[in-house]
Chain A
Amino acid sequence: MDQQTRIVFERAVALMADELEARVDALAKACEGLEKTQMSNLERVGLTSRRFGDVVAFVKRQTGKDKGWAQRADAKPLGQIMVEFLEELRSRADKACDEDQRLDRNELRMRLAGVCLRNMHSAYLYRREVKN
């Protein structure tokens, strides 16, 4: 990726992350019932996976086996809300790539997921600390 494209890429990530800030905060609130390790693992998967599907698969796997992810928030299991959020990230990243062919689809998906999940983890930890 050349320097010009890198600037466009970083700008696209920053803009989308800003637009999603309120959603990320709301999700951090919904995740209050989860254990700390679940959130740190989610962030780690978001930052280290090679494929976006691995992040979605992580949430689905946890929903299938962890009671915290299966608990309901807004009449839906938390895991399902998170999967829908991740799908929204994917479609936003794809739309940006369709509009600017220089952007790499997989890299943008992964970067956006990484930034949003890191922000979510921070908001979750902050809420937890303030509450206690």
Chain B
Amino acid sequence: MLDPARLDEAIARAVQRAIELYEAACDEKKITKAQLAGFATRAESLGSKGLVELIESQIKRNKQNEAASAEGKGTVRPKNPGFWRSMKRVVEEDLSQISADHEDADAVHRLFATRLAIELRYQAAIRKGT
């Protein structure tokens, strides 16, 4: 099992990677703060399987929107499939490695989601008015 200090550092790196992805997607106006904050808040209560499923459902919804848009039916334009695929990679690669070392995948995924939600709100608060 990972000691608390190493677990902290590993989770902080995964959160940092997710935040960098978010910021890049945000700059390209492909995702909004509310979308990711909503995801992080919902993800807090999910375990490892639930977190991957939640991301997959986002990817699936994007595909459906894309198909509908191609047929001229949809009103929502898919803007962020690349972002969610990258997020899935963070969860599957980084978190899976941490989970393998820590032996408690659900706890690792929940900690990641909690820290991600906190980091998003914190970043928003410190940028306000700057």
* Chain A residues in the interface with B (C-beta under 8 A): 50-53, 57, 60-61, 63-65, 69-70, 76-77, 79-80, 83, 105-106, 109
Contacts and interface: CB of A to CB of B under 8 A. Distances in A.
Contacts of B115: 53, 57
Interface in B1-57: 3-5, 7-8, 11-12
Given A63-B121, A70-B126, 13 more contacts: A51-B7, A52-B5, A57-B115, A60-B119, A61-B121, A64-B124, A65-B121, A70-B128, A77-B126, A79-B125, A105-B3, A105-B5, A106-B3
Interface of B: 3-5, 7-8, 11-12, 114-115, 118-122, 124-126, 128
A64 B118 contact: yes
Contacts of A64: 118, 120-122, 124-125
Contacts, number: 51
13 contacts: A50-B4, A51-B7, A51-B8, A52-B5, A60-B122, A63-B125, A64-B120, A65-B121, A80-B126, A105-B3, A105-B5, A106-B5, A109-B5
B125 A51 contact: no
Given A53-B12, A53-B115, A61 B5 contact: no
Contact of B126 (A51, A57, A63): A63
A83 to B, nearest CB: 8
Given A53-B11, A53-B115, A80-B126, A106 B4 contact: yes
